[in-house]
Every structure is written in C-alpha cells, then in structure tokens.
Structure 1
C-alpha cells in the first residue's frame, strides 16, 4: 500500500462533520496524528471561508483551503490565493429561474450569503461566487437543471440529492486541489480526497486515492477507489488509520 500520501483533502458536510455539525474527538485525534506525521490537511468545501474556518481553527490547520466549491483557494487561512467570480448576468438569470419555480435558493457573494429572505436588488454590482437551489421535487429540480444547462458557462454539481450548486464553468474542487498541490509542491497522485456528493466527484476521480463516505451518493461510491464508514461513524478516522498509517483492513 502506498502510504506516501502528502495531502488529505476533506469535504466537510456529510464527510468531516457528523450530522450534528461536529468533528468528533476520535476524528480530531486521527487528523492530529496525520498532521504530526507531516501530512497536509486541506478543507475542501462548498461552504464559505467564514463558515469553514472555525473548523480549521479547531483542528489547528494553517494549510491552504478550498472554499465555495473551488471558487476560492486560500494560500493559508485569511490569505486569498485565487478567487473566481460568476458573471452577474448569469446570477440574475438563475435568480429569475428560482423565483419562477418558487423554490428555495441561495447565493454566495464575496460579502455574505444571500437567500430568498434577504435577496438584493443590486445583483449586477456584487461579486458572486456560487448559486444554489434546493427542492425535494424531482421534477422541478430536473427542469431547473435543464434550464441551467441551456445557459452555458456553468459548472453544475450538488452537495445533497435535493440541491443544485452552480459555479463558473471549470471551477470545482478538483481544480482547487490541483492549485493547492502547486502551492505545496506535490502531485495529485499524493492526494487522498474524501467526500460524499457530486461536488466531490471530480477530485475523487483525479486524486491518487479517491474515497467515498459510507453515506455518499451512489455515483460517488461507484467512482471512488475505496468506501469507508459514514460521517456518523468516524469515517475520516478510518481513512487516516487505513491509508496514511496502513493500519486495519
């Protein structure tokens, strides 16, 4: 087994965090051991920096981070390396689509998270990073997906079976992690990438070892090199134990 992995790229929701939004003591302990061994640990998330950083702080991480599905890459906490913005005209169209279907939506600007309850009038003046939709109506979600595909210029994924997450075309976690590798002077073959949703798929496919959580969407499991326990059963601790320390099955 190759135990020469140098970077552990971790999705957060449904992966690093359990359903109570907590990193368990067991997982903290194994991540700490990985860091002490010299492995870089990178949070790779659809969340904004503000929503992700407290967890990096809890783990004592000073390493690069990938936030908003790759729209932002941080050289170190609070030090932005690259930011990719969406065309505000596309954000305007996506907002109109959400209103037309009467579904929940949200969008990350560089300032904050906006949603149906605090939407803005000056769409064209803001710097946008990501747009998202949520509906449990499969038919409506499919209609929205088709409309988005017709718009062009968009990277479309999800972070749960009931949502759609949209970034600028070509912007995803895989591209973000490739940039992190460049910053750290390592290759994608030295990366373990772990996740549970379609926004993790590209990086799981491109990493040296792609790992799906036990609670991952079926497509992600099929594409992964390995499947571990779920996010409520310390799956990340299992990743570190098995693939960084070579212990266990």
Structure 2
C-alpha cells in the first residue's frame, strides 16, 4: 500500500541540533508535497511554536496540517481552520497546581496562543520550552485564574528523578479523567483523556479517507511512541530514546544527518 502521509515530530526529528530544518530536508519535503503527498507536523508545542516551520515547508500551499499540543488541536494549514480542539476539564487545573506547589522543585506551565504561563517557580526546563516555541515565559501568581481560556494541556516540569516520583500518583489520581505521560524526562504532560499523537492522526486520516497503512511517522521521544506504533511505517531517529527505537519498524539517520530526508527518499519518492 502506498504511503500518502508523513507525520513528523519537530525537536530532534525534523529540526537539527540548531533547531532548524536543513535546506536538503526542506527541499525534499516540498518536492514530496508537489508529488501529491501530505506533510503533517506533530508536536507538543502550541501552534505559535509550529507555524513558522509550517511556513518554511509551505504547508498552506500544499494542504498540510499541524497537530499541536500532542494532537489536542488539529489545524488545516490551507485556511487556518481548527478541525479538532480538545481541552482539559477546567475543574482539574487548580487541584493539580496546588499538588505541584506542595513539592519543592516542580513547576506547572500552560499556554495561551501567545504566552507560556509559569504557575509556581520558573526553571531551566521551562526555558527550553520557551526557546523551542519562541514564546516568552510569563510568571503568574494565581495560575488557575490566569488561564481564563480553554486549556489544551499543562506540563509539570522538574528534575527527571523528581518527576518519576510524582508521575505515578498523578496518573492514579486522574485515571479515567486525564492522560498523563512523559514527553521528555523533565516534562510530564497533562492532557485531555485519550489525547496523543496517534489518536489525532487516526482522526485526521479518517477525514482524508485513508488508514494507518498509508502513514509514515518519524520521531525521537516518548510522546512519539504512540504514533510510531500506530503508523504503517514507524520510524525512530538514530538519536531517539532507546524505548522509542524499540517501538519502531525502521531506524533512520539522526536529525543532524537529514534522517527525515532519507525516509522520504527511501519510502515515498521512488521512481
């Protein structure tokens, strides 16, 4: 069966260590779209942290999509229409904030379309997110009150060893109400129930009249595992976390060696 769609994680996958798309990969993805294939950018970032990369790849011209907030929001690039938007139950925000405040070393962040709010104590891990998204961190005193709009996700951030001690209790407390999982060792994502990249891609493919057999997914981190396992061809980068590699059908070159380009040349652009 032909691969018609490729879904790409951003950090550590589409972009190199300098957080840019190399020119060979950019040209390759544009040529792929010219041939009628669809490119989807799938990230934990908010839409403002994705849109500039979508513009570099001309997704609006060729009918691509973005999955922001790990798939909680799906945007059609041709007209900017949001075709799916899943948000957290408002009543969970304050209890999770109060729980995180009681544990020294944790912060809780969330997003509007233009800001990242830090609800406890800004830390070095939040600054990684701010740089990747090109959005400033705004400290707020009353985190739940500051989030006066629908919230797609929150992140509990902190030292990996500390997060390991809080992940289990949070997951148990909100079992059946939220999806809580790691995207990085220092980020614990708090998501609407059953929201991940695979679920978003399944929804999107159905609107296109396609199935997972038509899909290639490339990623490197924990929050990419669901889509890598879902895809007809799941690809891990050479720089991926070991557990991600175990879930993949194929391991390509690293993000610093145009690994994505090698995938599309091998599987989607055969003559």
User: If the length of structure 1 is used for normalisation, what is the TM-score?
Assistant: 0.91
In the TM superposition, residue 137 of structure 1 has moved relative to its aligned partner by 4.1
Does residue 128 in structure 1 map to residue 129 in structure 2? no
19 and 104 in structure 1: CA distance in 2 versus 1, 3 angstrom threshold: farther
Report deviation, 1:51. 1.0
Partner of 2:15: 17
* Contact 2:4–2:38 (CA under 8 A) maintained in structure 1: yes
Q: Report the RMSD for the aligned CA atoms in angstroms.
A: 1.9
Greater Cα offset, 4-13 or 147-156: 147-156
- Aligned partner of 2:76 in structure 1 is 75
- The 1:69–1:228 alpha-carbon spacing in structure 2 relative to 1, beyond 3 Å, is same
Shift of 1:92: 1.5
Q: For 1:137 and 1:239, how far apart are their aligned partners in 2?
A: 32
Can you give the 5+ residue segments of structure 2 that lack an aligned partner in the other structure?
120-137
TM-superposition CA deviations, 1:182-227 (whole Å, max 9, x none) = 2222111100011111111111111110001111111110010001
Q: Following TM superposition, by how much is the alpha carbon of 1:28 offset from its aligned partner in structure 2, in angstroms?
A: 0.5
The alpha-carbon deviation at position 132 of structure 1 amounts to 0.8
2:213 & 2:96 partners in 1: Cα distance? 36
Alpha-carbon distance in structure 1 between the residues aligned to 2:3 and 2:115: 35
Which residue of structure 2 lines up, in the alignment, with residue 39 of structure 1? 37
| Cα displacement (A) at 1:165 | 1.2
SS of equivalent residue, structure 2 residue 19: coil
1:147 aligns with 2:169: yes
Structure 1 runs not aligned, ≥5 long: none
Q: Name which of structure 1's ranges 61-70 and 120-129 shifts more when overlaid on structure 2.
A: 120-129
TM-score by length of 2: 0.84
- Maintained 8 Å contact 1:109/1:130: no
Of residues 213, 220, 231, the one that matches 1:196 is 220
Q: Aligned residues, how many?
A: 244
